[in-house]
Structures are given as structure tokens and as C-alpha cells.
Amino acid sequence: MNEKLNVYEEKMQKSLANLNDEYTNIRAGRANPHLLDKIQVDYYGTPTNLQSVANISVPEARIIQIQPWEANLVKDIEKAIIASDLGLTPSNDGKIIRIVFPELTEERRKELSKDVKKKAENAKVAVRNIRRDANDTFKKQNKSNEITEDELKQLEAETQKLTDKYVAQIDSAMDDKTKEIMTI
């Protein structure tokens, strides 16, 4: 019985993971080295993750420091950060690149909170769509006599429990991120 639900639970997990990835890219006024996770640097002609060519640290709450392992990479790393759609402006002293995050205004915090809620709502819609697909599949199986009426009811109930569980996790992630953004 449960193996029929596993496929749908995996899809719900992916929706939640996707939401958490999106939240990682929302700047909350604090330096978060994960903002740089998707940045690729041209390393001897090969696009390479920034973490593979430099040491990334957070010496203060609003500063990310990037120290390339090779001094000649400073310019390439700076170009890659500027070219990314993160809206960050790096500065360098020839050896180390620093990114200073400005303090967020109250208006910007409210905009980011709305964005966080919108992303959470989209994730909930995705989870509910997965529930609908699961229920449709189970009803078809019932019509073709693959499962009984009782099994159908049980599967629908378990699918609803899964949906409730993931919607609650999405709400929790949304609350955490909103709290992080609104904290000055």
C-alpha cells in the first residue's frame, strides 16, 4: 500500500527542497555564503564553482570575504559576481574580495516578506497538485479493479495526511524566513 504513496511523497519532498533553495537566494540583510553557491568562475577555460577555487568566509554579520587560492583569479571572480543576477557589488584589494551587504530598509523587508509568502504559496499549490494527481491515479486504479473501494479510501486519507504534513513544513519554512528578514 505504502509503495504507491512513495512516488508522491518524493515529489512533495522535492517541492519543499525547491522552496528551501529559493529561500537561500533571498538576501535577508545578513551575509550568507550560500548566496554564492551557483556562481561559476572561468578557471583555465573551465566553468568552476566558486567554492572550488576560493575560501569563502563571513568575518562580520554583513560581509562575505572571498580569498582565491590563486591571486590571478581575483578579477575573474569579481567579474562572475557582477555578472550574476544577485545584485552584489564586490570590492577587492588585489588579494581578497569583500562583499558588503547594506542594511535593509523597512520597505525592502516588507517586499521580501511578500516574496517569501508568494514562494510558499506556490510550493503549497505544487503539493496540492501532487495530491490531486495521486488521488486521480488511485481512482483510475479503483475503476480498473486494481484496488478495492476500501483501499481507495485509505490511500486518499494517507495522501491527505502527507499533504497536510508538507503544507505544515512549508508554513514553518515561510515563518522562519519571514522572521529572519524582519529581524533588524
Q: How many residues does the chain have?
A: 184
pLDDT 10s digits, 127-180? 999 999 999 999 999 999 888 999 999 999 999 999 999 999 999 999 998 888
> Is the overall model pTM greater than 0.85, yes or no?
no
Q: What burial class does residue 130 get, using C-beta atoms within 10 Å of its C-beta: 0-12 exposed, 13-18 middle, 19+ buried?
A: buried
- Can you give the pLDDT at residue 132? 95
Joined grid coordinates for residue 156:
486518499
pLDDT 10s digits, 68-126? 888 888 888 888 888 877 777 888 888 888 888 777 788 888 888 899 999 999 999 99
Distance of CA 149 to the CA centre of its chain: 39
List of domains in the chain: 2-25+105-182 (1.10.132.20), 33-100 (3.30.1360.40)
Confidence of residue 1 (pLDDT cuts 50, 70, 90): low
